[in-house]
A and B are shown apart, each in its own frame.
Chain A
Amino acid sequence: MTDVIVIGCGVIGAALAYRLSQYKLKVLVLEKQNDVAMGATRANSAIIHAGFDPEPGTLMAKLNVQGSNMARTLCEKLSVPYLNNGALVLGFDKEEELTLNKLYERGIKNGVEGLSLLDGEQTRAMEPHVSREVTLSLYAPTSAIVDPWEYALAFAEVAKTNGVDFRFEQEVTAIEKTAFGYTVITRKGRYDTRFVVNCAGVASDTVHDMVAPKSFTIRPVRGDYCVLDKNENSKAHCTLFQCPSKSGKGVLVTPTVHGNLLVGPNAVPCEDKFRVNTTADGIDFVKRMALRSVPDVDFRSTIRSYAGMRANHDRDDFIIEFAAPAFLDIAGIKSPGLSAAPAIALEALKLLEGVGLPMERNPSATDERKKLRFRNMTVEERQRAISENPLYGRVICRCETVTEAEILGAIHSPLTPHSIDGIKRRAGSGMGRCQGGFCSPKIVELLARELGISPLEVLKDGAGSYILDSETKDGEKANEL
Chain B
Amino acid sequence: MSYELIVIGAGPAGLAAALSARKQGLTRIAILERDKYLGGILNQCIHNGFGLHRFREELTGPEYAGRFIDELSGSGIDVFTDTMVLNVTRDKQVHCVSPQYGYRILEAQSVVLAMGCRERTRGAIGIPGDRPSGVFTAGTAQRYLNLEGYLCGKRVLILGSGDIGLIMARRMTLEGAKVLACVEVMPYSGGLSRNIAQCLNDFNIPLYLSHTVTEIRAQNGRISGVTVSKVDENRRPIPGTEMDFECDTLLLSVGLIPENELTRGMGIAIDPRTNGAVVYENMETDLPGVFACGNVAHVHDLVDYVSKESEKAGAAAAKYVLQGPNEGEAIDVINGDGVSYTLPQRIRVSALDGAAEIFFRVRRNYGKAQIEVLSGDESIAVYKRDRLAPGEMESIRLSRELLSKARGEIRVSIKEQ
**Contact status A383-B149, CB under 8 Å:** no
Alpha-carbon distance A306/B127, docked complex (angstroms): 10
**Contact status A383-B175, CB under 8 Å:** no
Q: Is A62 in contact with chain B by the CB < 8 A criterion?
A: no
Q: Is A356 in contact with chain B by the CB < 8 A criterion?
A: no
Other-chain residue from B84, B103, B147, B154 in contact with A383 (beta carbon distance below 8 A): B103
Alpha-carbon distance A280/B216, docked complex (angstroms): 11
Q: Chain B residues with Cβ under 8 A from A395's Cβ?
A: 34, 84, 86, 97
Q: Is B202 in contact with chain A by the CB < 8 A criterion?
A: no
Q: In residues 48-98 of chain A, which contact B (Cβ within 8 Å)?
A: none
B73 CB to nearest A CB, Å: 24
A403 CB to nearest B CB, Å: 8
Alpha-carbon distance A464/B145, docked complex (angstroms): 21
Q: Is A406 in contact with chain B by the CB < 8 A criterion?
A: no
**Contact status A467-B126, CB under 8 Å:** no
Alpha-carbon distance A279/B221, docked complex (angstroms): 18
Q: Is B150 in contact with chain A by the CB < 8 A criterion?
A: yes
Q: Chain B residues with Cβ under 8 A from A470's Cβ?
A: 150-151, 154
Interface of chain B: mostly helix, strand, loop or mixed:
mixed
Q: How many A-B residue pairs have CB under 8 A?
A: 156
Q: Which B-chain residue is minimally distant from A280 (CB atoms)?
A: B128
**Contact status A278-B248, CB under 8 Å:** no
Q: Chain A residues with Cβ under 8 A from B122's Cβ?
A: 304, 435
Q: Which A-chain residue is minimally distant from B121 (CB atoms)?
A: A435
A432 CB to nearest B CB, Å: 9
Q: Chain B residues with Cβ under 8 A from A283's Cβ?
A: 126, 128
Other-chain residue from A282, A435, A437, A441 in contact with B148 (beta carbon distance below 8 A): A441
Alpha-carbon distance A393/B34, docked complex (angstroms): 11
Q: Chain B residues with Cβ under 8 A from A369's Cβ?
A: none
Q: Which B-chain residue is minimally distant from A403 (CB atoms)?
A: B97
0/1 interface trace, chain B 194-238, chain A, CB 8 Å (1 if under): 000000000000000000001000001110000000000000010
B393 CB to nearest A CB, Å: 23
**Contact status A460-B133, CB under 8 Å:** yes
A475 CB to nearest B CB, Å: 4
Q: Chain B residues with Cβ under 8 A from A390's Cβ?
A: 99-100, 102
Given contacts A386-B102, A469-B154, contact A302 B221 (CB under 8 A): no
Alpha-carbon distance A393/B104, docked complex (angstroms): 10
Q: Is A353 in contact with chain B by the CB < 8 A criterion?
A: no
Q: Which B-chain residue is minimally distant from A463 (CB atoms)?
A: B221
Given contacts A227-B123, A463-B220, A463-B221, contact A474 B99 (CB under 8 A): no
Alpha-carbon distance A475/B389, docked complex (angstroms): 38
**Contact status B144-A438, CB under 8 Å:** no
Q: Is B264 in contact with chain A by the CB < 8 A criterion?
A: yes
Q: Is A316 in contact with chain B by the CB < 8 A criterion?
A: no
**Contact status B99-A471, CB under 8 Å:** no
Q: Is B57 in contact with chain A by the CB < 8 A criterion?
A: no
**Contact status A393-B144, CB under 8 Å:** no
Q: Is B139 in contact with chain A by the CB < 8 A criterion?
A: yes
Q: Chain B residues with Cβ under 8 A from A401's Cβ?
A: 86
Residues in chain B within 8 A of chain A (CB atoms)? 34, 82, 84, 86, 95, 97-103, 118-119, 121-124, 126, 128-134, 137, 139-140, 143-145, 147-154, 175-176, 214, 220-222, 237, 248-249, 261, 264
Which are the 9 A-B pairs with shortest beta-carbon distances? Answer: A465-B221, A460-B133, A304-B123, A464-B221, A464-B220, A390-B99, A475-B149, A395-B84, A465-B133
